[in-house]
Structure 1
Amino acid sequence: MDDEKQTSELPHRSGSEVPVLSALGFLSAAVTAQQIALMQVLGWMHWHHFAYMIVAIALLGFGVAGTVLALTREHLQRAWRSLLPWLALGTAIAMPLGVRLAQHEALAVDLPLVFLNPPNAWRLVALCLLLLPPFFCGGLATGLVLTAQARRAGLFYSASLAGAGAGGLAGLALVASVVPARLPAAVAALALASAACLWREVASKARIAIVVTAVAVAAAWLAPGELRPSQFKPIRRALDLPEARVVAARPGLHGWVQVVDAPALRAAPAVSLEFAGEIPGQRAVFVNGLGHGSLLTPDAIRSPAWLDYTTDAVAFVATKPRHVLLLENGPGGWVALAVRRSALRVTVVEPNRSLVERLTEGDAPLAPEWRLPAVNCVVAGGRAYLRRTHEAFDVIRFPSVGALGGTAGLAAASEQFLLTREAFVDAWQRLTPGGVIAVTAWMDFPERNPLRLLATLAEALEAVGAPPRAHLVAARGWATVTFLARRAAGPGGPAWNPADATAIRTFCLERGFDPLLLPELQAPEREAHHAWQNPGFFRLVDALVDGPRESVYREHAFMLRPATDDRPYFSQFLRWGAWKRLHEVFGARAMPFFELGSLVVALTFVILAILAVVGVILPLARLGWHGPGKAGVLLYFGGLGAGFMCVEIGLMLRAQAWLGSPVVAAAVVVTGLLLASGLGSLWSERLPANRSTAWRLVAVIAGVVLIASFELDVVGPAARAWPALVQIGFVLAVVAPIGTAMGMAFPLGLRRLEATAPTHVAWAWAVNGCVSVATPAGAMLLAMSAGFGALFAAGAAAYALALVGAWLGGARDA
């Protein structure tokens, strides 16, 4: 055995290391870039929830590879040199092939149908299995090299992490420039390059395979096939209209921008039933298949009469604005309405650069309202702009909340940083005297969106010393309610004077709306035009405005407590303990209240946790259940895996709050973390691989994680006002020490195991990978229920377990 092992190892520090190190780097880059690419692909086909599932699938592939490696260690390690190019080629082929097969009618999955018709759950499993092979092949190749070269694990692990970090940048560049259908083939070229690095060392059969694979990857690029979005996505319904067609498209970091034209397309969100005019045809804008506004013709911009018959127009009734701010509203006539209502300047804030450029470029722009002389388009996140600007505004309009008919809870796991209590406080600071914050919510039943929005506004007003009852008014139509929070025009003066109240009453009367909140409001006025099916709704409105609110928060069937920057899940209303109550009240109709977004994350966690346990236990059938060191290995390497993922997810969510895009945040954090971990791994070769070093290092990591959490809490709010490049630099500065320390612990443990218990090395790789599998989904559940700060605490706790493992023997001296 020792002779075989010696012949499989590369000569120390010789030139023969270079091809393997290069191949490992390219392969790791491909695997990381594939994760980012699949986030974009599945985000367009389905919803953003698959982003976290992709991370879990990737880790599952590594975990399964570790389990296979632990079960067949001797056989695979003897042939690791010859297997490496074949595994790289398998990764390259599986990348586009898995996505293509997932589109097949017999295998395609539609997320809502999985829950509406549970027997379809096998399709979700099939999707995971189809996307798993490239991560399995990449993980097996990496594991083979690390276990075969365990004595120099730091060197090879650093090459893997450096490649993975570079893959994050490559994935970001590809997502920004390549249409989703071609992304898997583009990433496959990186895996192909990994095999090509070994060209001089492989036999003729492998060289032929490399050439054939190159032809296949080129064919996948030239003929990528069509990606079909879910039938429940708005773009699918728009394209089903007669003569519908996509007239413009552009990839981007925030998603695939598409413009659809059809003669029947009209956009009139909750227009009053009193409107008797004509609504002009409009093109529809979609980002990753979700509606993001509509495009008005020049004639419609000059006379957007139908918008005067929406509850949104109430913002301009008692205010004659000179400067209006539209925060992430998208196109759709809001500029035209502001200009029609006497605005001299309109600032449009939109984080999606690709969208802004595509809609405003050329002599005949697709969105001519954004090219009006009064308009200034700013590419930035809404929260970042509120913190960064020094201008004051007469009207600040937030994006609408919810959708007609509801969203079936698909937004429950979405971070919505513009709908937190702190966001409205930031907006309040940017109002002129007499200025108004305007935000519209779609009415749902049972009422959730309007009630939580009202609670958020009320708490934000109290935070700035403004009594909610004196500063809030609201108007309700047949489908929407618009809330206005107004700053008093002068010290000690009323926010809403009798003339304002009269103007709003007249507006509601003429357009068929009902005042919901207004000075001197009489109860019958609230249902003058539109009776509401739940009389208790109005009692809840008054309770949330006047307080105390704690009893409402505690007793209501849904979560109404305002979202915060630490827990920005505005659309997460479900209380896990309320399932039985909802089922008793609504029976089979309760399914829409179960929030598919939350259920996807929870179901993913349960499934992957079971698979992780199986992956950890299965190798013990061969290694034996008893014997020294197993508890230490489990705690040490399991703690490292769980801790790393908790911290990574926490950093990604924090960075998303500043950078605006989950894809950009993921790429920046993953790239920085992996590059820093690579440096740490390389540095670890200089440290003695003994128990004392291991537990001290893990203790340092736990401390650094807690310090970083404190640092982010203190500096985070101010970071929103910084330029994007400074924000990225700050993220990398926070990530660097954490990643460097975390990157040292894993190869250090492998080196110690190689010296004390070599048969446990492959199992340690499996434990680390399998525990990491379930952690992302578990981390998301923790963030949704306890906030981002809890992720760093959980990460520190996991490293504390690793510390116990190091002390027990996971990395002890012989």
Structure 2
Amino acid sequence: MNERITVSKQTYAGLFMVTLATLMYEILLTRIFSVTMWYHFAFVAISVAMFGMTVGAIVVYLRPHHFREERAKHRLAASSLLFAVSIVASFLIHLRIPFITTASLAGLFSIVATYVVISVPFVFSGICVCVALTKFPRQVSRLYAADLAGAAVGCILLIYTLEITDGPTAVIVVALFASIGSAFFAADCRRKKMVQLTWVVSVLLALFVVLQTILATAQLSPLRLVWVKGAPESRPLYEKWNSFSRTSVTGNPHALEHPVGWGLSPKYTFGRTVRQLHLTIDAGAATVLIGFDGDLQAHEYLKYDLTNLVHYVRPNAKVLVVGTGGGRDILSAMAFGQPAVIGVEINKDIINAVNRKFGDFTGHLDRHPNILFVNDEARSYIARSKDKYDIIQISLIDTFAATAAGAFVLTENSIYTIEAWKVFLEHLTPRGVLTVTRWYFRGRPGEIYRLTSLGSAALTELGAADPRKHIFVAKCMMAPEGSYPLDGVGTILVSREPFSEHDLDALEAAVQEMHFDLVLSPRFSLDSTFATIASGKDLDRFAAAYPINIAPPTDDSPFFFNMLRLRDVFSRQRREQGVMTVNMRAVFVLGALLITVTALTFLCIIVPLVLTADKGSLRGAGPLLLFFSAIGFGFMLIEISQMQRLIIFLGHPTYGLSVVLFSLLLSGGLGSLSTQRLRDVSVKRSAITRMLLLLCALLVFGVLTPYATRAFQASTTVLRILVATGILFALGLFMGMAFPLGMKIASKRSAALTPWLWGMNGATSVCASVLAVAIALSASISTAFWTGFFCYAVALLTIVWASRSVKI
């Protein structure tokens, strides 16, 4: 390898822009996939992106003459320009591919076609990044730092991009950034026609972004989603994207309809009609905006809904609603005459839709003197609050949507854990009640079983002698026996103090009056399973033996909706959960994805590498191969596990990008930069020392992170961000050193080996991105973290081994 070839600042800037665009597009696709396909396919976007980039690296390895050092700068400009153009082309094709959910050849073709089309831009990105990191060994530390810094800034930039525009427009913005990166590369290779071409493409993309943004503001954008969840979508009345949701409102504001109810009593006769609009999140989870003109008598039907059972036993209450949605629970509290209502909603776009965009329709609930809307994550808000509440209400809070970090059921949920429920119960008055509503599948009501186990476990940890005396469960079956998928809903009431006889009489009277069904109370149990769970005795052993996972989730395993154990992913019977069967399919997709990704990695990456490798260059390369594989596994396992831990701590999915990824990637870039000035004679010793320091940092912060998150959970947002940044910075600093140190050692052994090692690092990262979630689901987040620690321990041993066989 010709080490005399160097790069200018333009190449650093070009690589920065390309990796910025790459990570922006990767994360943006998780958002778009969550809307266009079922939410659990959004998680696949991450693996597809990494797979495409690794294939790009393999192309560089398999075509060495095409990517010689003297051609490297031109190849950087060309591949990054193709990256920009293919982003637009592949996305336009994706919009025209209907997503077919049926288990058929057509369904399989739509999925495969989508994955192939979407992976193309990442192949060009992979070519660009691989050339940059393997053809200029003298500057690999600075280049890798630019790589990570670009990715870090991309995390932040996507958040603000989606604040001012929509998802489809953001795709064009990403292509614009990639094109600007190509212009920087072209300036360094000094080819006039290439420079002109890159700037022409950049200007055209910029003009389209401006036009699209203006039209999107008026809900007239020419570039919009065509197929949503396998069906064509008409233009909504309102649409707004952010980093964790796409909110849309549809319907006719003047039409009269039967009122929507989650668990309306069979006694209700639908005598009156109301005006309603339908608000959806990622074209999946739905809530309603209710037309309200100040006449509460027109909304008496709300008193017939099971979700509002608590108001019959706690009148004159201070109410906190978790997840206001369209304002239905707030209007319900008003209908019952409650004197004070606080609605905590994490999604500001929903609040804006309810109170501003459609405020005249909803009656401007936020202007009522006893109503307060708060834009915050509920658990974090309540933990920081010094107030006590008589009622905390959580009604069907889920989004069927993917956060920017992954798919809903495959990611953490901070509301449904023992630690969260302890916070809720501790912020109740002595007469206070926590009321939670979820779906009730008559065949095996897994979600209600799990809510009951959550209540029992939280009460036990708070010192309750007999948890069952604090728990009341009722159900409302909305469909006839055997109907699917809408069986019914169940509501659990968990009181701070044991329910009094008067409370139980009032609740049972309301249940009987409304023709609901009593499931569990201190006096009655529908079946022995509810009785056993509510008692709290041997709960862990009972839950472990139950066919589905009904154990109470914790912050270390916060996957409430994951009730299907990985060993049962192919069991159709255990995947059946009524309306929530879609969540069980997500775990099936994860298991199938883990197998598929492993097979594709082996066939498309490892096999070509082995078949085309120069046997001479591979002789003795085992330690280096193992090192780059180990750090590929280790980095993703640590990154994803820390992200899952800290998103709960920080209290908002957006912080998974703006704090966790940004801090980890930026500090990794600084760590890489710190290896730039190492002299050849000191590389081996420095690599061993720094890997040892990394293990020490992982050990310290792996132990301290759970304690730190508990100690600071009630602190201000700023302080929690500082704590999270401090935890992540030290880890990222040392993890960022591993790759350039390994490359420095490898380049001294064989120049032809470096793209091969880069490809193996990418291949293991692809597998680890799925494996990290699989480990967290089947065991815990801590287990995934310590698996990453083990991988870095293996990397330390192999770098010692490798350094002995390489003469520097």
Distance in 1 separating the partners of 2:208 and 2:105: 33
Out of 13, 21, 41, the residue aligned to residue 22 of structure 1 is: 13
Residue type at the aligned position of 1:674: L
- SS of 1:605's equivalent? helix
TM superposition shift of 1:359: 2.3
- Residue 76 of structure 2 is matched in structure 1 by 84
- Residue 543 of structure 2 is matched in structure 1 by 553
- SS of 2:674's equivalent? helix
TM superposition shift of 1:617: 3.8
Query: If the length of structure 2 is used for normalisation, what is the TM-score?
Result: 0.89
Any gaps of 5 or more consecutive residues in structure 2? 213-221, 401-406, 478-487
Distance in 1 separating the partners of 2:596 and 2:190: 39
Shift in CA distance, 687/617, structure 1 to aligned 2, threshold 3 Å:
farther
Any gaps of 5 or more consecutive residues in structure 1? 11-15, 405-409, 489-494, 527-537
- SS of 1:515's equivalent? strand
TM superposition shift of 1:423: 1.4
- Residue 788 of structure 2 is matched in structure 1 by 795
Query: CA offsets, 1:622-648, max 9 Å, x none?
Result: 334575432112111111111111111
Residue type at the aligned position of 1:312: T
Query: CA offsets, 1:299-334, max 9 Å, x none?
Result: 476232111111122201221233101112422421
Distance in 1 separating the partners of 2:433 and 2:133: 61
Is the CA contact (8 Å cut-off) linking 1:414 and 1:571 kept in structure 2? no
Distance in 2 separating the partners of 1:567 and 1:688: 45
- Residue 283 of structure 1 is matched in structure 2 by 277
Residue type at the aligned position of 1:103: L
Query: CA offsets, 1:461-510, max 9 Å, x none?
Result: 1111222221112222222221111123xxxxxx3223222222221222
Q: Which range moved further: 638-647 or 154-163?
A: 154-163
- Residue 259 of structure 1 is matched in structure 2 by 249
Percent identity at matched positions?
Answer: 22
- SS of 1:635's equivalent? helix
- SS of 1:361's equivalent? helix
Distance in 2 separating the partners of 1:451 and 1:498: 24
Map 1:607-622 to 2 at 5 A: 607-614=596-603, 615-622=605-612
TM superposition shift of 1:762: 1.4
Shift in CA distance, 191/810, structure 1 to aligned 2, threshold 3 Å:
farther
- Residue 102 of structure 1 is matched in structure 2 by 94
- Residue 529 of structure 1 is matched in structure 2 by none
Distance in 2 separating the partners of 1:289 and 1:589: 20
Shift in CA distance, 727/576, structure 1 to aligned 2, threshold 3 Å:
same
Out of 174, 180, 184, the residue aligned to residue 193 of structure 1 is: 180
Shift in CA distance, 261/108, structure 1 to aligned 2, threshold 3 Å:
closer
Out of 301, 309, 314, the residue aligned to residue 309 of structure 2 is: 314
Residue type at the aligned position of 1:459: A
Q: Which range moved further: 637-646 or 615-624?
A: 615-624
- Residue 492 of structure 1 is matched in structure 2 by none
1:164 partnered with 2:164: no
User: RMSD value over aligned CA atoms?
Assistant: 2.8
Query: If the length of structure 1 is used for normalisation, what is the TM-score?
Result: 0.88
Distance in 1 separating the partners of 2:195 and 2:330: 60
Distance in 2 separating the partners of 1:301 and 1:781: 51
- Residue 448 of structure 1 is matched in structure 2 by 446
- SS of 2:236's equivalent? strand
1:710 partnered with 2:700: no
Distance in 2 separating the partners of 1:587 and 1:643: 35
Residue type at the aligned position of 1:101: I
- SS of 1:281's equivalent? strand
Out of 620, 644, 657, the residue aligned to residue 629 of structure 1 is: 620
TM superposition shift of 1:613: 2.6
Distance in 2 separating the partners of 1:510 and 1:91: 64
1:35 partnered with 2:26: yes
1:349 partnered with 2:347: no
Distance in 2 separating the partners of 1:587 and 1:250: 34
- Residue 666 of structure 2 is matched in structure 1 by 675
1:207 partnered with 2:204: no
- Residue 230 of structure 1 is matched in structure 2 by 228
- Residue 264 of structure 2 is matched in structure 1 by 271
Is the CA contact (8 Å cut-off) linking 1:250 and 1:358 kept in structure 2? no
1:217 partnered with 2:212: no
Residue type at the aligned position of 2:99: V
Query: CA offsets, 1:395-432, max 9 Å, x none?
Result: 0112326899xxxxx95424222111221111110010
TM superposition shift of 1:681: 1.0
Out of 511, 514, 517, the residue aligned to residue 514 of structure 2 is: 511
Query: CA offsets, 1:514-552, max 9 Å, x none?
Result: 22233444x7xx6xxxxxxxxxxx221112122443453
TM superposition shift of 1:215: 5.6
TM superposition shift of 1:688: 4.3
- Residue 399 of structure 1 is matched in structure 2 by 395
Distance in 2 separating the partners of 1:619 and 1:403: 42
Query: CA offsets, 1:203-258, max 9 Å, x none?
Result: 2432343244236535764465331353379xx7xx68xxxx62222222331221
TM superposition shift of 1:144: 0.9
Shift in CA distance, 563/338, structure 1 to aligned 2, threshold 3 Å:
same
- Residue 600 of structure 1 is matched in structure 2 by 589
- SS of 2:242's equivalent? coil
Distance in 2 separating the partners of 1:770 and 1:149: 22
Distance in 2 separating the partners of 1:211 and 1:580: 52
- Residue 485 of structure 1 is matched in structure 2 by 494
Distance in 2 separating the partners of 1:788 and 1:799: 17
1:295 partnered with 2:286: no
Query: CA offsets, 1:634-669, max 9 Å, x none?
Result: 111111111111111112212221344434413432
- SS of 1:391's equivalent? coil
- SS of 1:298's equivalent? coil
Distance in 2 separating the partners of 1:301 and 1:286: 26
Map 1:137-156 to 2 at 5 A: 137-156=124-143
Distance in 2 separating the partners of 1:199 and 1:659: 41
TM superposition shift of 1:731: 2.1
- SS of 1:475's equivalent? strand
Shift in CA distance, 180/556, structure 1 to aligned 2, threshold 3 Å:
same
Out of 738, 741, 754, the residue aligned to residue 747 of structure 2 is: 754
- SS of 2:677's equivalent? coil
Residue type at the aligned position of 1:397: Q
TM superposition shift of 1:788: 1.0
- Residue 13 of structure 1 is matched in structure 2 by none
Residue type at the aligned position of 1:396: I
TM superposition shift of 1:377: 1.1
1:361 partnered with 2:356: yes
Distance in 1 separating the partners of 2:578 and 2:340: 47
1:498 partnered with 2:526: no
Is the CA contact (8 Å cut-off) linking 1:383 and 1:720 kept in structure 2? no
TM superposition shift of 1:591: 12
- Residue 729 of structure 1 is matched in structure 2 by 722
Distance in 2 separating the partners of 1:649 and 1:730: 18
Is the CA contact (8 Å cut-off) linking 1:635 and 1:804 kept in structure 2? no
Q: Which range moved further: 698-707 or 222-231?
A: 222-231
Distance in 1 separating the partners of 2:312 and 2:266: 19
Distance in 1 separating the partners of 2:408 and 2:65: 48
TM superposition shift of 1:27: 1.2
Query: CA offsets, 1:706-760, max 9 Å, x none?
Result: 3222222101123332333333322222121111111111111111211222221
Distance in 2 separating the partners of 1:332 and 1:590: 23
Distance in 2 separating the partners of 1:17 and 1:669: 31
Residue type at the aligned position of 1:214: S
Distance in 2 separating the partners of 1:363 and 1:762: 55
Out of 730, 743, 756, the residue aligned to residue 763 of structure 1 is: 756
Is the CA contact (8 Å cut-off) linking 1:402 and 1:449 kept in structure 2? no
